[in-house]
Chain A
Amino acid sequence: MSRSRGGRALVLAMLTALTLTAAGCATEEPAAPATGGTAASGQAGTIKEGLKIAFLPKQVNNPYFDASDNKGGKVAVEEFKGVYSQTGPSEASPSAQVSYINTLSQQGTDVIVVSANDKDAICGALQEARTAGAKVVTYDSDTNPSCRDVFINQASADGIAASQIKLISEAVGADGGEIAILSATANATNQNAWIEMMKTELAKPEYSKLKLVATVYGDDDDQKSFQEAQGLLAKYPDLKGIISPTTVGVAAAARYLSGSEYKGKVQLTGLGTPNQMRAYVKDGTVKSFALWNPSDLGYLAAYTGGALASGMIAGKEGDTFTAGKLGEYTVGKDGTVLLGDPFVFTEDNIDDFDF
């Protein structure tokens, strides 16, 4: 009896030890570049070498953040010879992000680039990381301005709202009609700001024939977004257009429309990536949609973080710096940097992009 008892204890112990060591081996801990020693001597005006820059997206395994982090942030970090990493939870929850922020601050990360799942809930952890010496850059979705150094705004909220309303208005045509919004989660800071601005935009006389009848939430979940799109058309038979200002939502809605009787009759626009939307633009489901270039967003965030950690900028209004191939940027009000105007993808230009 006692033998088998000890045996089981041993098996479990070995198993846990194994997972720990295996994980330790499998880990590709980013090696500091050989030139790291010169980091301290970096003079004003250049980004120090060897900075540890970690990207913390809303969730990992999300194509949008893969484009911004691995295809943008990583490129920038390699340009100025820093140490890039991407980490984060597999579900988009603020409490899970807190745990990763704690980890990053313990790892002595120089710059944390984070897209916030909640503007307040991750504040405490970010403050603690800043006390420990990290610079905090938010991108895509901001926190309270007091919790970070700089926010990289992908596009101004009014710019996005204006382009979304303009695109749906053009697609629906002069007669106008009922439209609806398919959003991400009900708490997403950026989504809600855009929706408010869209309502303001709709109040303008040129859009008087468009009527917003519903806002539904697909939670950035493909299946739920698909079902919400389906539900909208069941509930509003006269619906003329859907705006889905989220990459997951717009792709799911496009997939539903393209396989239904509404294809070409109900118009769809939103914020999507070219690779996700290409098929639907070509089959006539979607005439046009918009987005910034997420890779540029991550690229700019990395350069901003590098400039902050090197003491080139303090994140104050009026600070200027150069972000590699993107050129010069100026820090605006409340420590924000604006990437630029949203870009409109149509059948004519979509094949020029691959992300």
Chain B
Amino acid sequence: MVERMRSLAGSWDAALLVALVLVVVVGAMSVEGVASPRFWRFVTLEVIPIALIALPMTLVVITGEIDLSVASILGLTCTVMGQLWLWGITSLPVLVLVALLLGALLGAVNGVFVTAFGLPSLAVTIGTLALYRGLAYVVLGDRAVADYPPEWTTGAIAAIPGLTIPWMILVVGALTLVFGLVLHATPIGRGLYAMGNNAEAARFTGISVARTKFWLFVATGAMSALAGVFWTLRYASARADNGNGLELAVVAAVLLGGVSIFGGRGRLLGVLAAVVLLGTLRNALQLAYVPANTLTIITGSLLIVSVVGPNAAGLLRARWRRRRAPITPLHQE
């Protein structure tokens, strides 16, 4: 059973990587500009916040939970950073530290509601999606804080020497390694899959389901805050509506990445491939003069395919196998 699931997830990863390569190759051949280094700089800048949040989100969804408040945590973190700046706190390390702590705290609130009160994470985080966004408007209202030192903003998007790709991708890479190791190479990671498949059974095998989930929500909050720091500096603008709707982009990437919405299945590699695939596709289609409406339809269709695809394939295979097995008296039709 586990073997089958692994191979299923593995094959989806392979499919995504093939699709990614295809999009890049077809894009580079048919759309002028996709082959240029500048294109990849823009794609990278766009996907960094999505990738940062998708890392912990993958783990959360594998346990069968979801966090829809991530973009609101991002927005609230941005406004708090902006307000602190207005109050004269001008040390970047202090601002970043406060942001990360705040993000972790906001995530912990989600975690407490989900684990201590046993509420469904979908309901809790839809609530905090609205609550945190509301608080963001309370903090800054209609103002935008934008007068950061230019070297902060240029520093945040500066390229790796000799390349056009921003250095932040190295941070994403390092964090991917951390989350990847936890998920795929530790008992904690195996526990996450177990929880997603059957939380009750996981509890009986001695896994502390509540504590693990709580810390996952804390991690999601902190990573959303990190994305918020990057967002503020990249756009040089802290506003209450920063990152509005980003949770959908993250969830889309996680699901397209092959993580089952019902938990228990999925790999980080697939999710990262999906993040890059969606970013590349979007930017390439934009370059090809495709209007925004069509882009939304394409993204939506890909999402449906990603949710329906693996299930439909599994069903078809099961039926095919049943038909091929001739001597099964119980299933005679």
Contacts and interface: CB of A to CB of B under 8 A. Distances in A.
Q: Are A and B genuine complex partners?
A: yes
Contact of B144 (A29, A30, A85, A120): A120
Interface in A1-58: 1, 4-5, 8-13, 15-17, 19-21, 23-24, 26-30
A119 B302 CA distance: 34
Interface string A111-131: 000000011111110000000
Given A20-B27, A121-B235, A121-B237, A9 B11 contact: yes
A95 interface: yes
B286 A103 contact: yes
Contacts of B289: 27-30, 85, 87
B235 A124 contact: yes
A91 B235 contact: no
Interface in A104-147: 106-107, 118-124
Contacts of A322: none
Nearest to A23: B290
A28 B289 CA distance: 8
Contact of B18 (A4, A12, A61, A98): A12
A91 B241 CA distance: 12
Contact of A20 (B36, B239, B242, B285): B285
B31 interface: yes
Interface in B233-261: 234-237, 239-245
A114 to B, nearest CB: 15
A95 B50 CA distance: 13
Contacts of A93: 241, 244-245
A192 interface: yes
B170 to A, nearest CB: 21
Nearest to A15: B305
A187 B140 CA distance: 10
Nearest to B296: A90
A99 interface: yes
A123 B27 CA distance: 28
Contacts of B281: 16, 19-20
Q: Is the interface of A mostly helix, strand, loop or mixed?
A: helix
B291 A9 contact: no
A9 B287 contact: no
A326 interface: no
Centre residue among A21, A27, A100, A119 by max chain B CB count within 10 A: A27
Contact of B294 (A10, A23, A95): A23
A261 to B, nearest CB: 31
A13 B305 contact: no
B193 interface: no
Given A87-B291, A107-B33, A23 B285 contact: yes
A156 B132 CA distance: 36
Nearest to A12: B15
B6 interface: no
B144 A12 contact: no
B291 A20 contact: no
The size bracket of the interface on B is 35 or more
A24 B305 contact: no
Contacts of A23: 285, 288, 290, 294, 298
B296 A20 contact: no
Contacts of B305: 12, 15
A61 B292 CA distance: 9
B22 interface: yes
B7 A186 contact: no
B237 A118 contact: yes
Centre residue among A8, A12, A85, A119 by max chain B CB count within 10 A: A12
Contacts of A1: 7
B239 A118 contact: yes
Contacts of B26: 17, 20-21
Given A16-B19, A16-B281, A100 B286 contact: yes
B163 interface: no
Given A8-B11, A118-B144, A192-B142, A186 B283 contact: no
Contact of B236 (A16, A17, A60, A121): A121
B23 interface: yes
Centre residue among A30, A106, A122 by max chain B CB count within 10 A: A106
Interface string B130-154: 0000000100011110100000010
Given A5-B11, A8-B12, A13-B19, A24 B31 contact: yes
Given A8-B11, A23-B294, A106 B285 contact: no
B235 A9 contact: no
A214 B150 CA distance: 37
B144 A121 contact: yes
B317 interface: yes
Interface stretch (B38-46, B55-63, B118-126): B38-46
Contacts of B241: 93, 185, 187
Interface of B: 7, 11-12, 14-16, 18-19, 22-23, 26-27, 30-33, 36, 38-39, 42, 46, 137, 141-144, 146, 153, 157, 231, 234-237, 239-245, 277, 281-294, 296, 298, 301-302, 305, 309, 313, 317
26 contacts: A8-B309, A12-B19, A13-B19, A13-B22, A15-B19, A16-B277, A20-B23, A20-B281, A20-B284, A20-B288, A27-B290, A28-B289, A29-B289, A87-B286, A87-B289, A88-B292, A90-B292, A93-B241, A94-B237, A99-B46, A99-B283, A102-B283, A106-B42, A107-B287, A123-B236, A124-B157
Interface of A: 1, 4-5, 8-13, 15-17, 19-21, 23-24, 26-30, 60-61, 85, 87-91, 93-95, 98-100, 102-103, 106-107, 118-124, 185-187, 192
Given A8-B15, A124-B153, A186-B142, 15 more contacts: A10-B18, A11-B15, A16-B277, A17-B22, A20-B26, A21-B30, A29-B289, A99-B42, A103-B42, A107-B287, A119-B144, A124-B234, A124-B235, A186-B137, A186-B240
Nearest 8 pairs between A and B by C-beta?
Answer: A186-B142, A120-B146, A9-B15, A121-B237, A5-B11, A121-B235, A90-B292, A12-B15
